[in-house]
Chains A and B, each alone.
Chain A
Amino acid sequence: MQRIGVFVCHCGTNIAATVDVKAVAEALGHEPGVVISQDYQYMCSESGQQLVKNAIKEQKLTGVVVCSCSPRMHENTFRKAAASAGLNPYLVEIANIREQCSWIHKDIATATDKAIILGKAAVAKVHLNTPLNSMESPVVKRALVIGGGIAGIQTALDIAEAGFEVDIVEKQPTIGGKMAQIDKTFPTLDCAACILTPKMVEASQNEKITIHSFSEVEDVKGFVGNFTVKIKKKARYVDETKCTGCGLCTEKCPMKKVPNEFNMGLDNRSAVYIPFAQAVPKVATIDPNYCMMLKTGKCGVCSKVCSAGAIDYKQKDTIIEQKYGAIVVATGFNPINLDKYDEFAYNQCPDVVTSLELERLMNAAGPNGGTLLRPSDKSHPHTIVFVQCVGSRCDDEKGKPYCSKICCMYTAKHAMLIREKYPDTEVYVFYIDVRTPGKNFDEFYRRAVEQYNVHYIKGMVGKVTPKSDGKIDVQASDLLANEQLHIDADMVVLAAAIEPDKTARPLATMLTTQMDTNDFFTEAHPKLRPVESATAGIFLSGACQGPKDIPETVAQGSAAAAKAIGLLCKNSITCNPCVAHSNELMCNGCSSCEKVCPYGAITYIDKEFRMPDRTTKIRRVASVNPAVCQGCGACTVACPSGAMDLSGFSNSQIMAEVDAICK
């Protein structure tokens, strides 16, 4: 005979204001098998848990139903309480009467009715609950970091520091990411390369870190502690182990008209190239879209000049398979495409540039050697207009609804640097709001205004028109003076919104992690678990989770590393015992379950069965690996013969819940 205890939580007024909790406790007290039914103000509190524990001991309960918040919130709390009172934790059921009841209803009578029904369903289920015991699963002591920008580098360095092996997968030929393209960093104006390149070198020299540059993640299988990842090393037509990075091939390559991605296409590179002088690994890569040898079979100059014999035109993509305990996503961001913003003439006029292009134009390693010149005629610009919020804070299909966060500060930096270096240049900044929350950020912005006399104008540029004399007419509003301005500018700089890298979405699918509508990865909890994804063992680092500046990215990179280290430290982790199992007598070996299993947990075995007539027969039946199964239940739905069942969520339990609701 079952002895079930029901505990109804008020959750302060969260539940009690909309649901008559006393009536719920009263009604559920009459359900079959229920021996005690109580309500309490905060069931998750220490004294609330004590109430449950005491009842388990005094009433010798065989099952517990807690009517409270979502099981995602406190299921674990009550399971632990039950376990400490000697009851198997899987004999506890939660009826969600907060998120699924009190928070979404207004009428007390109907909400109370619904809460009672949800409670009855949980009681019906708990009648059929069986004790389950968790298993242990070993943890592979190796981490994968996807993305080799500053976020990925910081995460990898911290994990390696703790003594674990780390692999960085970077799709570009070098690590460094966006920070390598940046000239100076706010608010201290130290040079980005000077602080980044030592970290890149540190990563490459750390014996615990393996860098897979020019590589992409192809496939992810497995689960927390035991992921199996396929990494595609794209053919770079250069043997990484032989190339010394001398750069002779890049000098001699006759194909020199390739747009240089590192300089945002503002100058050209050769078909065989090293992205920049401090690249890590400093290894050449051949661009197959431009290499004459690969396209026509005629050339081979790089191979002739390479004294190390590193050029290999026959190189193919290779796939590496590796096991990892934890995966950190650090895929970063890109500025948005500005094709839809005709009013800013970005595609018409070479002197209208994005902020990232301006970084390259001002960088000593950039196309002009650090002298700021107009891209069109290489003349010195005397008037520069900055436009803020281009594509940020937009409520239309062209832009992004969020604030890109970094633009106010980098624009203040650009304006200040230009005024410092070229005092004869007038700088105008059109802003909607100047947002500078951050240590020493507002002081920095005020310095641009007060010390450097940058003209900040509250208003927005409406139209940019290139003129025949080479100047650019900028038509804008000055909201405070209530007038429309026309500025004769030499250059216009657009603070383009930033968006997650395009590779993030397919990656999220592979990792079964969640994304928001803007394709930023969703953290497990917006306040309390900011660097973990909702999928166990997957962590988030940097701008893939939301717009971030460098200090925040580094902080989050280290935080993600700490979480990954916490996982890798363990020798084994407790697995969820709610896994699928197959009734071999009913299984007809059709393979339906194997096809739908997203974790590869189901295999088929040939097993000997004794038949009623005392003969034996070998039949093909499904077998579930409980360490790999994540309990998603897809197989139980796919199985045509009803042989598959999920412990803790068995077909009979779910039917009992449905019956209780429909009664």
Chain B
Amino acid sequence: MNKNLKEQVLRSSGVNVLKCMRCGKCSGTCPSYDEMEYHPHQFVYMVEKGDIETLMNSKSIYKCLTCFACVERCPRGVEPAKVVEAVRLAAVRQQGNNHLKPTDIPGMLDEDLPQQAIVTAFRKYAK
């Protein structure tokens, strides 16, 4: 179990996985269920256990449509889609490590580029 990864996923998702009461409504409502190796309720449970690398290496993270049906219908307000998103983010950030360094920024600056895009790029391509 990778404690740092778990911390990272919990922090970037803002989700308290301990609120889950294991009802399975997220997986009952998920339109991509059949495409996924690990299902929304498993994401929540596996993140709680700290088994995050398994999820990061699974195709499931790219099968979530981020439709938020599970977020809308979860009776405990757990927001499983945000957990999936956070795991996906962790995977993207890790693969190939740093794609973007702060020193690269000045050369890339463009007047029309919104600042938000830089922040987003850092999120996606930097550790």
Contact = CB atoms under 8 A, between A and B. Distances in A.
Interface stretch (A163-171, A209-217, A454-462, A518-526): A454-462
Contacts of A482: 39, 42
B75 A475 contact: no
Given A477-B39, A484-B34, A394 B75 contact: yes
Interface string A466-488: 00000000011111001010000
Interface in A273-289: none
A380 interface: no
A432 B34 CA distance: 22
Nearest to B45: A479
B23 A460 contact: yes
A139 B63 CA distance: 72
Given A393-B75, A396-B75, A479 B33 contact: no
A389 B24 CA distance: 12
B21 A463 contact: no
A399 interface: yes
Given A389-B23, A432-B23, A462 B30 contact: yes
Q: Which of B39, B73, B75 has the most CB of A within 10 A?
A: B75
B26 interface: yes
Contact of A462 (B21, B28, B42): B28
Given A432-B21, A484-B33, A389 B75 contact: yes
B76 interface: yes
Contact of A459 (B19, B24, B42): B24
B5 interface: no
A450 interface: no
Interface in A382-423: 389, 393-396, 399
A343 interface: yes
B77 A462 contact: no
Interface string A406-446: 00000000000000000000000010100000000000000
A509 to B, nearest CB: 31
Q: Which of B21, B23, B41, B76 has the most CB of A within 10 A?
A: B23
Contact of A395 (B22, B26, B77): B77
Contacts of A432: 21-24
Given A393-B75, A396-B77, A462 B69 contact: yes
Q: Which of A394, A458, A482, A484 has the most CB of B within 10 A?
A: A484
Contact of B29 (A394, A399, A463, A478): A463
B75 A477 contact: no
Contacts of A475: 28-29
B19 A462 contact: no
Contact of B24 (A395, A399, A460): A460
Contact of A399 (B27, B30, B75): B75
A191 to B, nearest CB: 33
A384 B42 CA distance: 28
B25 interface: yes
Interface string B73-113: 11111000000000000000000000000000000000000
Contacts of A462: 25-30, 69, 73
B22 A479 contact: yes
A462 B41 CA distance: 12
A484 B28 contact: yes
Given A395-B19, A432-B21, A476 B75 contact: no
A460 B77 contact: no
A297 to B, nearest CB: 51
Nearest to B40: A477
A461 B75 CA distance: 12
Q: Which of B26, B27, B34, B76 has the most CB of A within 10 A?
A: B27
A393 B39 CA distance: 22
B25 A460 contact: yes
A479 B24 contact: yes
Contacts of B69: 462-463
A395 B75 contact: yes
Contacts of B26: 462, 477
Given A477-B39, A479-B41, A458 B77 contact: no
Nearest to B76: A395
B28 A459 contact: yes
A477 B22 contact: no
Nearest to B34: A484
A479 B29 contact: no
B38 to A, nearest CB: 9
Nearest to A388: B23
Interface in B9-64: 19, 21-30, 33-34, 39, 41-42
Contacts of A477: 24-28, 33, 39, 41
A267 B69 CA distance: 35
Contacts of B41: 477, 479
Contacts of A463: 28-29, 69
A343 B22 CA distance: 19
B19 A460 contact: no
B75 to A, nearest CB: 4
Contacts of B73: 343, 462
B110 to A, nearest CB: 43
B74 to A, nearest CB: 8
B37 to A, nearest CB: 10
A473 to B, nearest CB: 12
Contacts of B23: 389, 432, 459-460
Closest 10 CB pairs of A and B: A462-B29, A462-B28, A460-B25, A477-B27, A477-B24, A477-B28, A459-B24, A484-B33, A432-B23, A394-B75
5 contacts: A389-B75, A459-B23, A462-B26, A462-B28, A477-B24
Interface of B: 19, 21-30, 33-34, 39, 41-42, 69, 73-77
Given A461-B28, A482-B42, 7 more contacts: A395-B19, A395-B75, A396-B75, A430-B28, A432-B23, A477-B24, A477-B41
